A and B are shown apart, each in its own frame.
Chain A
Amino acid sequence: MAALAASAAAAPPAPVGIGIEGVHKSFGAVHALVDINIGVRAGEFLALIGPSGCGKTTLLKSIAGLIPIDSGRITVGERVVTGPGPECSVVFQDFALMPWATVQHNVEFGLLLRGVPAKERAETARRAIAKVGLGGSFEYAYPSQLSGGMQQRVGLARALAVNPQVLLMDEPFASIDEQTRRVFQDDLLRLWSAERKTVVLVTHSMEEAIYLSDRVVVLSPRPGRVHQVLDVPLPRPRESGDVRATADFARMVDGLWQVLRKLQ
Chain B
Amino acid sequence: MTPAAKRDSDLGPTGLAAILGLLAVWEILGRLDVSLFLPPVSEVFVAWWGLIRDGTLFQAGASSLAALVKGYLLAAVLGVGVGLAMGRFAVVRYLLDGWINALMSAPLSALVPVLIALFGIRDTVVVATVFLFAFFVIAVNTLTGVRGTERSLVEMGRAFGAGEATLFRRIYLPSALPAVMLGLRLGVVQAVKGMVVGEMLISLVGLGERIISYGNTFLVTELYAVILSVLLVAIICSQLVQACERALVRWK
Contact = CB atoms under 8 A, between A and B. Distances in A.
B155 A92 contact: yes
A84 B160 contact: yes
A100 B156 contact: no
A64 B159 contact: yes
Interface stretch (A106-114, A197-205, A240-248, A256-264): A106-114
Interface stretch (B129-137, B169-177, B220-228): B169-177
A64 B170 CA distance: 20
Contacts of B99: none
A5 interface: no
A99 interface: yes
Contacts, number: 59
B177 A113 contact: no
Contacts of B252: 99, 144
Contacts of B157: 109, 113
Given A96-B150, A96-B155, A98-B171, A113 B160 contact: yes
A140 to B, nearest CB: 11
B152 A94 contact: yes
A92 B152 contact: yes
A101 B153 CA distance: 12
A89 B166 CA distance: 18
Interface of B: 150, 152-153, 155-162, 166, 170-171, 174-175, 177, 249, 251-252
Nearest to B154: A96
A100 B174 contact: yes
Contacts of A65: 159
A91 B155 CA distance: 11
A249 interface: no
Contacts of A101: 174, 251
A32 interface: no
Residue picked from B158, B159, B177, most chain A C-beta under 10 Å: B159
Contacts of B152: 92-94, 96
Contact of A109 (B160, B175, B177, B249): B160
A110 B251 contact: no
A84 B159 contact: yes
A192 interface: no
A65 B155 CA distance: 10
Given A84-B160, A96-B150, A66 B155 contact: yes
Contacts of A66: 155, 158-159
A98 B154 CA distance: 10
A200 B3 CA distance: 38
A58 to B, nearest CB: 13
A90 interface: yes
A77 interface: no
